[in-house]
Chains A and B, each alone.
Chain A
Amino acid sequence: MGSMILRTAAGFLLPLLLLFSLFLMLRGHDEPGGGFIAGLVAAGGFAFYTFAFDTRHTRRLLRVDTRSLLGVGLVMAVLSGVPAAFFGQPFFASQWFRFTLPPFGEVTVSTPLLFDIGVYLVVVGVITTIVLTLADPEH
């Protein structure tokens, strides 16, 4: 820890990894990828950042409590299964909504996407919580 090279690299790599994780999550809609893998990549970025600096820095960088990330993700994932019930289908039947958004043209939003974002947040939340707990010096 505390190596100059590692710190500099971590500063550059974390944003790249986060960006890559977003790419993976959105790509997972039709091709290999997905919320779980993307979450692992993002969490890996934060773990790397923790190794380079320390848990205090990572917590400050994250701004929110990691457990809140986990909770919000779980809420999103569970709720993504509910809309189906309003259309008379079993829970977790995927629903697609198409509408036009001026600058982008036609946009499709679906419950699987919501589920994937939920999974992403859960994975990031769980893994950063575990890493930070294990790396915390006072424990």
Chain B
Amino acid sequence: MNPEIALPILIPLLGAAVSVAFWRHMALQRHLAVLATGALLAIGLVLLWEVWHGGILVMDMGVWPAPFGIALVADLLAAIMVVLAGFTGFAVTLYSLVSLDREHENFGYYPLLQLLLAGVCGAFLTGDIFNLFVWFEVMLIASFALLVLGGRRTQMEGGLKYVTLNLIASAIFLTAVGLLYGMVGTLNMADLAVKLAQVEAQGLVTVLSLLFMIAFGIKAAAFPLFFWLPASYHTPPVAISAVFAGLLTKVGVYALYRVFTLIFTHDVGYTHTLLLWGAGLTMLTGVLGAAAQFEFRRILSFHIISQIGYMLMGLALFTPLALLGGIFYIVHHIVVKTNLFLVSGVARRLQGSYELRDLGGLYRSAPGLSVLFLIPALSLAGMPPLSGFFGKFILVRAGLEAGAYAIVFVALLVGLLTLYSMLKIWAEVFWKAAPEPTSPSPAPLQGPERLLLYAPISAMAAVTVAIGLGAAWVYDVAEAAAAQLLDPALYVEAVLGRERLQ
């Protein structure tokens, strides 16, 4: 019995439920949110420790044995993702204590955030493909509500696009699940891996795999399915943008990693080549889109897309080193991207805008913030010795070993263009002289507000540096996770074998 497998779902779910029950008690909701996300981070670390030492953990919910009931499965990749979800959730919760206004809080920000985290962790931990759909929907409903919280006009517009495209993705996902069940009569992912290999019409399996690729591709914002992301991520309050940027698309990427290493590995030459094309084009379109933008959060939103390309590249090359690089990249990206959004929020708090032309002079007025911006920004662009350098380095190395020179070229070029974007922000926001203020400048930061805005950013910057300096250690964990992904027998045995033994 390992309760830590189910606790990452139960803790935020319970936190959300209690918060909703005490709808009017804001102080309680705030304390509970900090407590629950902190507990999530702690339990995630325990889970990672257990999986690292004891191998894949499985729990059959409600004692229904594996292929029939819903099993929760924690392998290394899932455990890593849960830790990251906990870290992001905890940091963003602290940050939102002071950055959100009363109005948003009163509309249920804290319960929704925890519901979102429950959905995200559920998607990471479930071993059942229909259950994955359910967690996706839990996550989506929470994210819909968070996105339009406050109800400004741009939020409504962005929200409508987000809702539409994500609902289409869900419908495609559901269609694919239905056809899959019709074909092999099981929904347990381990069982699917076994049974799909015995299907005679492998062409149909390929068609199904493409449906999953499109559905998860929309959620992951891969080319050419990313349009909802830059249309919506810059509209809500910054804490919400940050948690979306860090976690949501990565759930799509995680689902692609899970499905295309465990279930659909019958025709790697076709499906993964398609993914490789998607990866390259995703990188390019994302970074080019960013180059054309002059609004802090829009630039960052486009960079999410280009970074998704790197993660897909790791999956598409499908070698041990490439998967390792992809996982390393996900770890690095979640921390760095969330952090950049949080920094943009502080810049807005100091100067009242996200537009680059209205910002300026922060190098002089807030030197600490400029250092805290430079660390994730340079890491995103791939500067040594920060985390992004090693992520890119491993992926490039894997690409060269696999002989995929075109994608390596694209990856390096996109790294350069990312540096250009980051330097653009640096030059406009921090380096150039402050523009004449058009509106009265906001009150200076002090006391607990300063502490709670800077603490999450500093912690994330510290983690970025730590991933860079302790890259060997993260490398080991990612290597083990990639090895687990490449050997589906381990997963299948953990889920189905145990039941057979009993």
A and B touch in the complex (CB under 8 A): yes
Q: Which residues of A contact B (CB under 8 A)?
A: 65, 67-68, 70-72, 74-75, 77-79, 81-82, 84-85, 88-94
CB closest residue in chain B, given A72: B21
Interface pairs (16), CB distance under 8 Å: A71-B17, A71-B20, A71-B23, A74-B16, A74-B20, A74-B21, A75-B14, A75-B18, A78-B13, A78-B17, A79-B14, A85-B1, A90-B62, A91-B59, A91-B62, A92-B61
Complex Cα distance A88/B1, Å? 6
Q: Select one of B3, B23, B59 contacting A68, CB under 8 A.
A: B23
- Residues of B with C-beta under 8 A to A91: 3, 6, 10, 59, 61-62
Complex Cα distance A29/B137, Å? 27
What count of chain B residues pass the 8 Å CB interface test? 22
In the complex, B27 has a CB within 8 A of chain A: no
Q: Would you give the shortest CB distance from B35 to chain A, in whole angstroms? A: 15
Tell whether, in the assembled complex, residue A89 and residue B1 are in contact, meaning their CB atoms are under 8 Å apart.
yes
Complex Cα distance A103/B294, Å? 75
Number of A-B contacts defined by CB within 8 Å = 63
Complex Cα distance A90/B24, Å? 34
- Residues of A with C-beta under 8 A to B22: 68, 71
Tell whether, in the assembled complex, residue B60 and residue A90 are in contact, meaning their CB atoms are under 8 Å apart.
yes
Q: Would you give the shortest CB distance from B317 to chain A, in whole angstroms? A: 37
Complex Cα distance A103/B376, Å? 68
Tell whether, in the assembled complex, residue A75 and residue B59 are in contact, meaning their CB atoms are under 8 Å apart.
no
The verdict on A93 contacting B62 (CB below 8 Å), with A75-B14, A75-B18, A85-B3 known, is: yes
- Residues of B with C-beta under 8 A to A71: 17-23, 111
Q: Would you give the shortest CB distance from A66 to chain B, in whole angstroms? A: 10
Tell whether, in the assembled complex, residue B10 and residue A82 are in contact, meaning their CB atoms are under 8 Å apart.
yes
Q: Would you give the shortest CB distance from A94 to chain B, in whole angstroms? A: 7
Chain B binding surface SS class: helix
- Residues of B with C-beta under 8 A to A75: 14, 17-18, 21
- Residues of A with C-beta under 8 A to B19: 71
Q: Select one of B13, B16, B61 contacting A90, CB under 8 A.
A: B61
Q: Select one of B3, B10, B108 contacting A78, CB under 8 A.
A: B10
In the complex, B443 has a CB within 8 A of chain A: no
Q: Would you give the shortest CB distance from A95 to chain B, in whole angstroms? A: 11
In the complex, B63 has a CB within 8 A of chain A: yes
Tell whether, in the assembled complex, residue B1 and residue A81 are in contact, meaning their CB atoms are under 8 Å apart.
no
- Residues of A with C-beta under 8 A to B23: 65, 67-68, 71
B27-70, CB < 8 A from A: 59-63
Q: Would you give the shortest CB distance from B110 to chain A, in whole angstroms? A: 12
CB closest residue in chain A, given B17: A74
Which 5 residue pairs are nearest across A and B when measured between Cβ atoms? Answer: A71-B21, A71-B20, A74-B17, A92-B62, A75-B17
Complex Cα distance A82/B60, Å? 14
Q: Would you give the shortest CB distance from A93 to chain B, in whole angstroms? A: 4
Tell whether, in the assembled complex, residue B21 and residue A93 are in contact, meaning their CB atoms are under 8 Å apart.
no
The verdict on A90 contacting B1 (CB below 8 Å), with A78-B13, A78-B14, A81-B10 known, is: yes
- Residues of B with C-beta under 8 A to A84: 62
CB closest residue in chain B, given A112: B62
Chain A proximity mask over B91-116: 1 for CB below 8 Å, otherwise 0: 00000000000000000100100000
Q: Would you give the shortest CB distance from A30 to chain B, in whole angstroms? A: 18
Complex Cα distance A84/B6, Å? 12
Q: Would you give the shortest CB distance from B82 to chain A, in whole angstroms? A: 16
Tell whether, in the assembled complex, residue B20 and residue A68 are in contact, meaning their CB atoms are under 8 Å apart.
yes
CB closest residue in chain A, given B118: A78
- Residues of B with C-beta under 8 A to A82: 10
Tell whether, in the assembled complex, residue B13 and residue A94 are in contact, meaning their CB atoms are under 8 Å apart.
no
Complex Cα distance A78/B13, Å? 8
Complex Cα distance A88/B59, Å? 12
Complex Cα distance A79/B6, Å? 13
Q: Would you give the shortest CB distance from A67 to chain B, in whole angstroms? A: 5
Q: Would you give the shortest CB distance from A68 to chain B, in whole angstroms? A: 5
Q: Would you give the shortest CB distance from A78 to chain B, in whole angstroms? A: 5
- Residues of A with C-beta under 8 A to B18: 71, 75
Complex Cα distance A75/B18, Å? 6
- Residues of A with C-beta under 8 A to B14: 75, 78-79
- Residues of A with C-beta under 8 A to B111: 71
The verdict on A94 contacting B62 (CB below 8 Å), with A74-B13, A78-B10, A85-B1 known, is: yes
Complex Cα distance A95/B19, Å? 27
CB closest residue in chain B, given A74: B17
- Residues of B with C-beta under 8 A to A92: 61-62
Complex Cα distance A92/B3, Å? 11
- Residues of B with C-beta under 8 A to A67: 20, 23, 108
Given contacts A71-B21, A75-B18, A90-B61, 13 further A-B contacts (CB under 8 A): A67-B108, A71-B17, A71-B18, A75-B14, A78-B17, A79-B14, A81-B62, A90-B6, A90-B60, A90-B62, A90-B63, A91-B6, A92-B61
CB closest residue in chain B, given A66: B23
- Residues of A with C-beta under 8 A to B3: 85, 91
Q: Would you give the shortest CB distance from A81 to chain B, in whole angstroms? A: 7
Q: Would you give the shortest CB distance from B46 to chain A, in whole angstroms? A: 15
